[in-house]
Structure 1
């Protein structure tokens, strides 16, 4: 199997994590769901650093973000499907 670009931990997740260096906009990514080893393709909308998140669906301000099957925060700005999700548009709900 080819090396994945994005890992999704749980089928409930709405973001995945970039696992390759130098991911650029318009890359057709191989995305693997580690829960069951299934895979799908998704096109990146921007350059995204390794370890950062990418939206699996269109996300809007106020949406809850699920990673590892858990609530990790809420969107404070939008991200389109394939878009970069990080501190510019995602904040923890703790503060």
Structure 2
């Protein structure tokens, strides 16, 4: 079976990156990045990424900041954000602006 969907998963927790890749690699091409900056680099390197999933809480650049920056250049990608915490005003604003799904 050909894997046609390329997913970029961005999270600063290495265990989460490993688990995500392990679970989803059978059906999708999984690319991982451990920071928003690395995520932007991966997007530059791979123009076939169609889905981005990002953790919200990361040092340096949080998930909304990463997605805001990425979407300026890669607006044809579907973006999702994950958080283990309550929905913040920042996340709610990004949802209202349709920045994330």
Structure with more of its chain in strand, by fraction: 1
Structure with more of its chain in helix, by fraction: 2
Instruction: Give the TM-score normalised by structure 1.
Output: 0.29
Instruction: Give the TM-score normalised by structure 2.
Output: 0.28
